[in-house]
Amino acid sequence: MLVIFLVSMFFFILMNIPIAFSLVLTSLVLMASLGVSSPAIVSQNIVRGVDNFPLMAIPFFVLAGEIMNVGGISKRIVNFAKVLIGHVTGGLGYVTVLASMLFAGVSGSAIADTTAIGSILLPVMEEQGYEKGKSTALIISAGTIGPVIPPSIPMILFGVVGGVSIVKLFLGGVVPGVLIGIALMVGWYFHSKKMGYKRTKRASIKQMIKDTIAAFWAILLPVIIMGGILGGIFTPTEAAVVAVVYALLVGFFAYKELKLHHIPEIFVQSAKSTSIVMLVCGAATAAGYFITTAQIPVLLSDALLAVSNNVYVLMLLINILLLLVGCVMDLTPALLILAPILLPIATRFGLDPIYFGVVMVCNLCIGTLTPPVGTVLYVGCGLSGLSMWELVKPTMGFIAIMVAVLLLITYVPGLILYLPYAFGN
**pLDDT, tens digit (0-9, with 9 covering 90-100), for 91-103:** 888 989 998 898 8
Using CB atoms within 10 A of its CB, is residue 255 exposed (0-12), middle (13-18) or buried (19+)? middle
Mean pLDDT over all residues of the chain?
A: 87
Res 425: pLDDT:
65
CB within 8 Å of 269: residues ≥ 6 apart: 66
Top pLDDT among 247 and 416 is at 416
In 226-333, beta strands by DSSP E: none
Q: If residue 216 lies in a helix (H) or strand (E), which one and from where to where? A: helix 205-230
User: Which candidate, 94, 183, 152, places its Cα nearest to that of 360?
Assistant: 152
Q: Which residues of 161-176 are buried (b: 16+ CB within 10 A; e: fewer)?
A: bbebbbbbbbbbbbbb
Res 424: pLDDT:
61
Q: How far apart are CA 358 and CA 409, in angstroms?
A: 9
Res 97: pLDDT:
92
CB 80, CB 214: distance < 8 Å: yes
Q: How far apart are CA 37 and CA 44, in angstroms?
A: 14
Measuring CA to CA, how many Å separate 59 from each of 14, 144, 297?
A: 29, 19, 30
CB within 8 Å of 261: residues ≥ 6 apart: none
Average pLDDT over residues 353-373: 91
Q: How far apart are CA 361 and CA 334, in angstroms?
A: 10
Res 54: pLDDT:
79
Inter-helix orientation angle 353-367/331-348, to 10°? 150
Q: How far apart are CA 374 and CA 114, in angstroms?
A: 13
Average pLDDT over residues 294-314: 81
Q: How far apart are CA 201 and CA 107, in angstroms?
A: 31
For 6-42, write each residue's pLDDT tens digit: 788 888 878 888 888 888 898 899 888 888 878 888 8
pTM: 0.86
